[in-house]
Chains A and B, each alone.
Chain A
Amino acid sequence: MSAPELVTVTIDERSVQVPKGTGIVETAAAAGIEIPVFCYEPRLGAAVGACRMCLVEVEGMPPKPQAGCTLFAQDGMVVKTARTSEMARVAQNATLEFILVNHPLDCPVCDKGGECPLQDLTFRYGPGNTRMTFDKRTFEKPIPISPAISIDRERCILCYRCTRFSESVSEDNQLVAVNRGAQTMIATFEDEPYTGAFTGNVTELCPVGALLPTQPRFEIRPWEFQAVPSVCGLCPVGCNIDVDQREGKIKRILSRNHPEVDEGWLCDKGRFGFSHLYAEDRITDPLRRVRSRGLEEISWEDALDDAERLLREANGRIAVALSGSETTEDAYALAKLVRKGLGAHTAMLPEEIGGGLDAFRAPLSAIRDAELIVVLGEDPVVERAPIVDLWLRKARRAGAEIVEIGPAGDVQIAPGTTARACRKLKSGELGDRLRASERAILIWSGGGAGGGSHLAALATDLGFADKPGCGAFFLPETANGRGVAEAWAAASDDEGPEPEPLGLLIVSGDEAAANPNVRALAEQAERVLAITMFHSLAVGWADLVLPGTSYLEREGTYVNVEGRIQRLRRTAIPPAPDELAWIAQLASRFEVELSPSPSLVFAELSERVFGGVTYEDLGEEARLPDRVPLEAAPAESADEPVPAKAPGGTLQLLRYRPLFSGAAVERVPELQFQRPAPEIELSVKDAKRLGVRRGEPVSVRSNGTSVQLRAAINKRLKAGVARIADDHARDLHPTVEVSK
């Protein structure tokens, strides 16, 4: 890319050089001058000049105030802001007076009060008094536009930030402005709840208290927060967040813009999901199984004694089931305890990324700059890594070509054949274009845990390693699957036999505790030690339960989908000591040296796998590590077994894990409406064959189990495939029969 042409602009008699085409608001900021704005937000696309707050005087333009946000820097431009131009000052003052005509004076009651741009700018640019003596326009308030967000239309200043977000960022087109003139209001169609993965962002965009999250309603004032910079741990993207807490309790989560990871957006799961920490069935004390009464609470001393006894009795016949939601440090500590201290080397690891992709490492923002993107896989990207979906949308708006290869996509393939489709890309027309492109991205979203290796083989073949604009991403199921796998591998080089019979199964984390495969393994185990946050996940199968903590309650690091090591901080006081504290105590009983301090554990781990970086190096905005050149061609793992073709009259079941599912989301009342509806997605062809229309109830049967679901028709779905969310597909077999 050639260096952009520089132009000289004079703002309030200060001369500043900026690249041509820079907005006047940014140009003024470069000159150290503020132009106040409400509606202007570069991330929402082209400026609209709706609020008129940015009025400036520009020499050589018509002698009236110009909206600064809609202008671009041109050579020799002379701009006067309210600081030097009386015209601009009067215009801005009048704009504020006009905005405030119908804005209620309920700042003491409004949750935005204290961090409200309208309040701040009125204080600095607005009239000190009001000339309006008539009654203000009133609306019913507050109205929930979804269980998680409420709207106060009296406060709305019609800046259209929220509708622009809905229209051109999340592209759901649900928030719109209805009516005209003074009666204009922001609404959803027919007052349906505003549903989607990213709705919460409008509460952060709103420059007044019109759109507010319902969770912290009236619980806090902005100056009472303590904001802790951390990282979201609910999906592999690892969005940077600011966790606002008061009196040790989390009240809300805001995004913290990391321009390479999330660009300041956050999904609703990450934003509203924190209240599972305060769920009623949260475990706060260790529990021991009692035959007659189920579980009884015991003290930590007893619990550690019990745990030691369980570990000794198992005599090395131990397996560990890891969730992928542990911090890298916790996983390392647990691995060191059982591998070094007990000689047990068997683990059930979460879906792994595979190191081969490090050779094609790129920031997620590379998706935005790409010209050709191939998305392989069976799961919708938004269900696995929601922010990646926003990057893809942004790329599409910028003119990139996106080819989806999967059971529901541009190129339709049968479930289970993603690896084959991936190999096919090495040749053919699309493969040639990928090879020729300087800015191409490959994304693997679900459909086989070996995806990382297939993707690495393809990217090697396409020569991505030498092209910095090209990258390959494997979207894993868990937030820190990568870090957990590396920590497990780093703890020891020894290998041991599979424990037979299994003496003790250590289940670490809620995802593992909810995993049916882990449950099946637990059936064979003599004893089960579970580390989990919730009663319902522990009851009935664990002999000893130790309370788990959440990603918001511990110090540590997560490794995200790009391979970026990001720092988690303790943002709330956990009801029980965190994992590392008691693992370290337990380790000392087995003569394993382990520090209870995350930074020391990370230092030890980092020496082995992360090249010795420290917490200080990571900082608050973690840098992406450099690409690791491949030494040999990546070994491709074997293809997933292709499910047998469904016999005539039946459909192949395609399950997916929805974004709004899992132990955390189940415990957040505000997110229940976002969980997938009991629907079965059918292709147009199958729906026609079965005579089923959209919304009609159908019964889905397989091997004796039957589920009643609503039919939904997906035009992109391959014929012969039916897609159901995991929540509703419970015990169904891979082949289902659908009938009215």
Chain B
Amino acid sequence: MLRIFRGAGLSHRFARETGGLVVSPQPVDTLKGFGVTFKQIFKKPLTMQYPEHKRPVYPRFRGRHRLWRHENGLEKCVGCSLCAAACPADCIRVVAAENTAENRVSPGERYARIYEINMSRCIFCGYCELACPFDAITLGNEYELAEYDRDDQIYTKDMLLAEPIKKVPVADAELYDTPIPYYRAHS
């Protein structure tokens, strides 16, 4: 039986003892390890080629925000700033204004003239969604929010109201789409 050696000094001594010929101290284990590696060559890989392929996220994954409209086209947001008040990262800025007959943006008296989320500050806790009394803001599943410029991380109201832009081409749309969760498929 070969002894188990630890450390460089020992391997030198081992080389000396074996007459200068350097042999792995664990030839069997080494081969075993290579065996595992070779076996994977013939298996389907677990890694995905991002960004061509994307792993689906859970349905309640909290990603990029979205502002919503009513069916008649008016914005749900009334500019109450409760999201900004709830935000622990202080990344939402709301400046409200009054609806007029000529410029009706939301139902009721008040609308958000400016609605900005600083995505570089956001911690995606979802408190804004919880605080919103009108379900005007939700967190979506998009997580690709990298930008070349920090200023571009400030999302304006128009950006948040629109469909998220998929900046990265997706090779397999089927795979990218959120799968039907187990609990829903089996109930």
Interface residues of A, Cβ cutoff 8 Å to B: 106-109, 113-114, 142, 217-219, 221, 223-224
Contact = CB atoms under 8 A, between A and B. Distances in A.
Interface string B93-116: 001111000000000111000000
Considering residues B79, B81, B97, B134, which has the most beta carbons from chain A within 10 angstroms of its beta carbon? Answer: B81
Contact of B78 (A109, A142, A219): A109
A219 B96 contact: yes
Given A221-B81, A224-B81, 7 more contacts: A108-B82, A108-B133, A113-B80, A217-B98, A218-B79, A218-B96, A221-B80
B95 A109 contact: no
Nearest to A106: B108
B117 to A, nearest CB: 16
B85 interface: yes
Contacts of B82: 108
A224 B97 CA distance: 15
A109 B81 contact: no
A223 B85 contact: yes
Nearest to B82: A108
A217 B100 CA distance: 13
B78 A108 contact: yes
Nearest to A218: B96
Nearest to B106: A109
Contacts of A108: 78, 80, 82, 133-134
A218 B97 CA distance: 5
B95, B97, B98, B109: most-surrounded residue (chain A CB, <10 A): B109
A109 B84 CA distance: 15
A250 B97 CA distance: 16
A30 B81 CA distance: 37
Interface of B: 78-82, 84-85, 95-98, 108-110, 133-134
Contacts of A107: 80
Contacts of B85: 114, 221, 223
B133 A219 contact: no
A224 B84 CA distance: 9
B101 to A, nearest CB: 14
A610 B63 CA distance: 62
12 contacts: A106-B108, A106-B109, A109-B78, A109-B80, A109-B108, A113-B80, A217-B98, A218-B96, A219-B95, A221-B81, A223-B81, A224-B84
Contacts of A106: 108-109
A238 to B, nearest CB: 33
B102 to A, nearest CB: 17
Contacts of A219: 95-96
A634 B95 CA distance: 58
Nearest to A246: B95
Contacts of B81: 221, 223-224
A142 B109 CA distance: 9
B40 to A, nearest CB: 57
Contacts of A109: 78, 80, 108-110
Contacts of B97: 218
Contacts of A223: 81, 85
B98 A218 contact: yes
A108 B132 CA distance: 9
A114 B85 CA distance: 10
Contacts of A114: 85
Contacts of B133: 108
B114 to A, nearest CB: 11
A218 B80 CA distance: 9
A538 B147 CA distance: 49
Nearest to B93: A247
B97 to A, nearest CB: 6
- Looking at A106, A142, A217, A218, the one whose CB has the most chain B CB atoms below 10 A away is A218
Contacts of A113: 80
A217 B96 CA distance: 9
A108 to B, nearest CB: 3
A351 B33 CA distance: 99
Nearest to B99: A218
Nearest to B80: A108
A107 B108 CA distance: 12
Contacts of B80: 107-109, 113, 221
Contacts of B79: 218
List 6 A-B pairs, minimum CB-CB distance, nearest first: A108-B80, A218-B96, A221-B81, A109-B110, A108-B133, A218-B110
Nearest to A152: B109
Contacts of B110: 109, 218
Nearest to A108: B80
A224 B78 CA distance: 16
Nearest to B136: A108
A106 B78 CA distance: 10
A113 B110 CA distance: 13
Interface centre among A113, A142, A221, A223 (most CB of B within 10 A): A221
A114 B84 CA distance: 13
